[in-house]
């Protein structure tokens, strides 16, 4: 038996639990290089439920600790999976690197561009792996879409639309997702989409955006209600959150973006819209276009080429004969050449998290060189998300580089202040 990597989950809320389910999924597939040795959270209740469930799913109860210091005293650790609220990502990551541990951090990598830079610098200083747990690009349908794009099936990309609308005044999962110094929805969700844009089109260069805080009061329909069976993992915490609260972070962004390739993106991310909801992601190229489904839905993408029937089935695979999913994704999703899949959301979710863990493990073991979404790529997504808001404040187009390098940071200033950065 090769030695496994002792890992602790730090942050045992919703995503900490979901990550543990992902680790169990990877173990069931016989592909886990990790042993879960620790569950770390100052909220002992959260750490204990994670540890109890891990005992059932992984066959060993991790130690419970309230801090990294207590964790280090209690057990040997080589890597942490960082699933705290975003406000603590940089402090926990830097402490972990100083302790000689590798880090896989949930997105957004850090709460500001400055916080991200600290994490990237510390990882490099200590020679440790910093991976960003970005799940959307790992969806097999996005892998197929990217293979089709790279094969030139729709020609050179000219325009990408990413338009998502909905939400009205409802709380998105938790209060902190609406607070500027907690994360804010355009950061929390926007980093996923920023990563997807760069996954498909390469580096983003310039952003012009208008952002708004439309809904200044958000409502939590689950306040005071007992969690229902099958109601989702977050209900147990939502019942104790307020029924109504003030939102401080912008909740809608409308942007035109220029990519280094010359491709243009029309971007709308509106978490406050009422009326018709919208999902539209499509890439228009010099030969045709590709319509992409919602991430983690398992639905098919569709290729439109002039004079031909729209294609969304097995014939897509004929266009990319070399296309193969990586070993972990293929094992978890049941095939290395997929054009759709059908699992309950919770199962898809844990499979994609399992893929993140597999990638992190290979990077630690030195087999892949670096994780697919490293610290720099994670920091780029944060910079793009803030570029929307910085463009609004500056009243002009901003470059992603000036935000990434922390030269333009007026929107982030009060967040940096609150973090003491």
Ligand X SMILES: NC(=O)c1ccc[n+]([C@@H]2O[C@H](COP(=O)([O-])OP(=O)(O)OC[C@H]3O[C@@H](n4cnc5c(N)ncnc54)[C@H](O)[C@@H]3O)[C@@H](O)[C@H]2O)c1
Q: Could you give the residue ranges of the DSSP H alpha helices within 178-281?
A: 185-188, 190-201, 235-238
- Pick between residue 46 and residue 112 the one whose CB is nearest to ligand X: 46
Instruction: Determine, following the binding rule CB under 6 A, whether residue 40 of this chain makes contact with ligand X.
Output: yes
Binding of ligand X by 15 (CB under 6 A): yes
- 79 in Cβ contact with 103 (< 8 Å): yes
* Residues in contact with 119: Cβ distance below 8 Å, sequence separation at least 6, in sequence order: 89, 90, 93, 94, 103, 105, 109, 110, 130, 375, 379
Angle between helices 140-150 and 190-201 (to 10 degrees): 30
- Tell me how far, at minimum, the Cβ of 163 lies from ligand X, in Å: 20
Q: How far is the CB of 151 from ligand X (least distance, A)?
A: 28
| Cα distance between residue 40 and residue 6, in whole Å | 14
Q: Contact between 42 and ligand X (CB under 6 A)?
A: yes
Q: What is the chain's alpha carbon radius of gyration, rounded to the nearest angstrom?
A: 21
Distances from the Cα of 147 to the Cαs of 67, 72, 290, in angstroms?
43, 43, 12
- The verdict on 166 binding ligand X (CB under 6 A) reads no
Residue 271 near residue 185 (C-beta atoms within 8 A):
yes
- Tokens, residue 117: 């830079």
Nearest approach in angstroms of CB 155 to ligand X is 32
Q: Which window, 8-16, 203-211, 238-246, 305-313, contacts ligand X (CB under 6 A)?
A: 8-16
Between 179 and 408, whose beta carbon lies closer to ligand X? 179
Binding mask 61-100 for ligand X (x = CB under 6 A): ----------------------xxxx-x---x--------
Query: Rounded to an integer, what is the distance from CA 189 to the centroid of its chain?
Result: 8
Residues of span 212-251 touching ligand X by CB under 6 A: 237
Residue selected from 25, 95, 139, 188 as contacting ligand X according to rule CB under 6 A: 188
In the list 112, 174, 211, 408, the residue contacting ligand X (rule: CB under 6 A) is 174
d(CA 350, CA 185): 23
Q: Which residue is nearest to ligand X (CB)?
A: 13
C-alpha triplet 256, 284, 147: angle, nearest 5°:
110
252 binds ligand X, rule: CB under 6 A: no
Shortest Cβ distance from residue 383 to ligand X (Å)? 16
Is 10 a binding residue for ligand X by CB under 6 A? The answer is yes
Tell me which stretch binds ligand X (CB under 6 A): 36-44, 96-104, 201-209, 377-385. Answer: 36-44
Q: Considering only 39-47, 110-118, 304-312, 366-374, which stretch makes contact with ligand X by CB under 6 A? A: 39-47
Can you tell me which of 11, 182, 361, 378 binds ligand X, judged by CB under 6 A?
A: 11
The label of the residue with tokens 């992902």 reads 22
Tokens representing residue 129 in the block = 């792996």
Number of residues interacting with ligand X: please give it, by CB under 6 A: 24
Q: How far is the CB of 189 from ligand X (least distance, A)?
A: 9
Stretch near ligand X under the rule CB under 6 A, chosen from 41-49, 276-284, 374-382, 399-407: 41-49
Cα-Cα end-to-end distance for the chain: 45
- Nearest distance, CB of residue 42 and ligand X, angstroms: 6
Q: Report how far residue 318's alpha carbon sits from residue 15's, in angstroms, rounded to the nearest whole number.
A: 37
> What is the C-alpha separation between 111 and 188, in angstroms, rounded?
9
List contacts with ligand X (CB under 6 A): 10-16, 40-43, 46, 83-86, 88, 92, 106-107, 135, 174, 188, 237
């Amino acid at each position: 038996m090769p030695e496994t990597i002792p890992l602790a989950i730090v942050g045992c809320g919703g995503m900490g639990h979901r990550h543990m389910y992902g680790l169990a999924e990877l173990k069931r597939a016989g592909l886990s290089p990790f042993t879960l040795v620790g569950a770390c959270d100052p909220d002992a209740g959260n750490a204990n439920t994670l540890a109890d469930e891990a005992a059932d799913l992984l066959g060993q109860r991790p130690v419970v600790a309230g801090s990294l210091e207590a964790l280090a005293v209690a057990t040997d650790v080589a890597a942490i999976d960082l699933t705290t609220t975003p406000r603590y990502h940089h402090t926990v990551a830097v402490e972990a690197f100083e302790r000689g541990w590798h880090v896989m951090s949930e997105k957004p990598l850090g709460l500001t561009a400055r916080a991200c830079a600290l994490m990237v610098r510390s990882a490099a200083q200590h020679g440790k792996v910093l991976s960003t747990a970005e799940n959307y690009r790992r969806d097999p349908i996005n892998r197929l879409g990217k293979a089709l794009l790279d094969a030139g099936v729709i020609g050179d990309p000219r325009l990408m639309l990413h338009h998502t609308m909905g939400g009205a005044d409802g709380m998105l999962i938790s209060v902190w997702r609406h607070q500027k110094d907690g994360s804010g929805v355009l950061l929390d969700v926007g980093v996923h989409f920023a990563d997807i844009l760069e996954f498909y089109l390469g580096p983003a260069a310039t952003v012009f955006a208008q952002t708004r805080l439309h809904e200044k009061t958000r409502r939590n329909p689950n306040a005071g209600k007992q969690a229902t069976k099958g109601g989702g993992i977050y209900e147990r915490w939502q019942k104790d959150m307020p029924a109504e609260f003030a939102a401080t972070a912008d909740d809608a962004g409308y942007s035109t973006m220029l990519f280094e390739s010359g491709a243009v993106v029309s971007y709308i991310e509106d978490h406050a819209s009422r009326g018709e909801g919208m999902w539209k992601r499509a890439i228009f190229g010099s030969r045709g276009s590709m319509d992409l489904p919602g991430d983690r839905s398992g639905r098919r993408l569709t290729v439109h080429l002039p004079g031909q029937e729209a294609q969304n089935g097995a014939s897509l695979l004929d266009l990319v004969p070399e296309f193969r999913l990586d070993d972990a994704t293929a094992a978890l999703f049941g095939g290395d050449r997929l054009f759709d899949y059908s699992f309950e959301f919770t199962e898809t979710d844990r499979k994609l998290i399992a893929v993140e863990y597999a990638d992190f493990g290979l990077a630690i073991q030195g087999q892949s060189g670096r994780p697919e979404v490293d610290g720099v790529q994670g920091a780029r997504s944060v910079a793009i998300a803030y570029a929307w808001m910085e463009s609004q404040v500056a009243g002009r187009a901003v470059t992603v580089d000036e935000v990434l390098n922390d030269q333009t940071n007026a929107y982030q200033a009060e967040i940096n202040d609150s973090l003491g950065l």
